[in-house]
Amino acid sequence: MTILPRRGGLATLLHNPGAGGGDHQRNALECLLQAQGFTVTATSTKAPDVAEVLALPADLYVLAGGDGSVGKMLRRLPDRSAPVAIIPLGTANNTATSLGIIGDPEALMANLRDAAVRPFDIGCTAGPFGRCDVVEAVGLGALASTMALEPVGTKEENMANGRRAFSEALDTTEPRELRLILDGTAHCDAWLAVEVLNHGHAGPRLPLLPKVDLGDGMLDVLALTEAHRKPMQAWLKSDMKRRPPGLVLRARRVRFDWDGALPLRIDDKLQAPPADPSPITITARSRTFDILVPRDSGGHHG
């Protein structure tokens, strides 16, 4: 059972026209919601009236776009008690994939009232950039350095390019000594990459920790040292069905000092290096959102 009203209800549809389909796709999604009895308010994620639309009451939010626009809208939702449907339209669609939301956008929208519900936490990070929510990950090092890569081809080509760029970054990244503090316990090593994950997929749809619990109020960490450089490059060339190499850790709170020597990302945004070493903290939260997962989606619904 979902937590939607049995009949009627107010739905807010936020659609990124740049992720594919344009106004035609938005109109089709709006019609599917109306066919299910919803009164729909629809706008583009890039429209100047987004803040006004988000301020309206809603029984359901529908976010149609890629990871960037989905993450941006999740951060801005004023009412986190209303359920959220994610319609993946981007390249990697890491958030949707981790939630088990896979398939044709219009098929996913066809019967939201019968969708399963999955709790989904998002984290919070603080540092020289201020405070902000984290939907995918806070990453440091080799994978973070690939975030500036611009998409230039098909989805498949862009994911292949992203994985190739990560492998090349592993070749050129110099490990840096860093003290990671997880719930008060220090882990000291020279790291090539550290990914503090809010869910299991990152970057160019890499299944770094695909079996993590998305609603347990914990952060999952994958950290790579020099010993993991070649094994990770081999894993990137494989079918990626086995777990990737690396040290796996879990915590509610992660802290480290960042001097800018390794690039830092928050979701898909690289951060400007600080003038002086600065503490970075990432904190988990419990049950931030209820996400609707259509029962005929290609994913699983734990």
Residue 2 has pLDDT above 70, yes or no: no
- CATH of segment(s) 10-120+288-293: 3.40.50.10330
Q: Which whole number is the average pLDDT over 16-40?
A: 88
pLDDT interval class at 300 (50, 70, 90): very low
Query: Domain 123-283 is in which class?
Result: mainly beta
pLDDT interval class at 301 (50, 70, 90): very low
Q: Where are the domains of the chain?
A: 10-120+288-293, 123-283
Q: How many CA atoms lie within 13 A of 97 on its CB side?
A: 20
The whole model's pTM is what? 0.93
Report pLDDT digits (tens) over 89-102: 999 999 999 999 99
